[in-house]
Amino acid sequence: MAVFVKFETPKEVSDKAYALAEIARDSGKVKKGTNEVTKIVERGEAAIVIMATDVEPPEILAHMPALCDEKNVPYVYVPSKEELGKAIGLEKPTASVAIVDAGNGKAQVDEIAAAVKDLKN
């Protein structure tokens, strides 16, 4: 498991995270790329952060879980940066995305945040 992965995400939860990214892309606001995501989290504007676990080198995301915890931003892991990129409409992979406005995906944010809270305990 990569250095920044703090808990095992069940497939059903990561599938929900991909679906949420698609919903937010179409009806809300999404920021992509670790630098952008870091800024959004620091400003307290992120509803949830989605990180891919297959990032090379893993240090790229090493700071993210601690930052999210510090700012009380829920975060979740998905297995593929390729799929994460596709979910937000990119043709290339992305290491992380921040959902700024979930749009029609507000219920999914709450659902994923609750599931992750249980995983972390």
- The domains located in the chain, with CATH, are 11-120 (3.30.1330.30)
Chain segment 6-45, per-residue pLDDT in tens: 999 999 999 999 999 999 999 999 999 999 999 999 999 9
**pTM of this prediction?**
0.96
Q: Is the pLDDT of residue 69 over 90?
A: yes
What does the DSSP assignment read for 30-91? EEESHHHHHHHHHTT--SEEEEES--SSGGGGTTHHHHHHHTT--EEEES-HHHHHHHTT-S
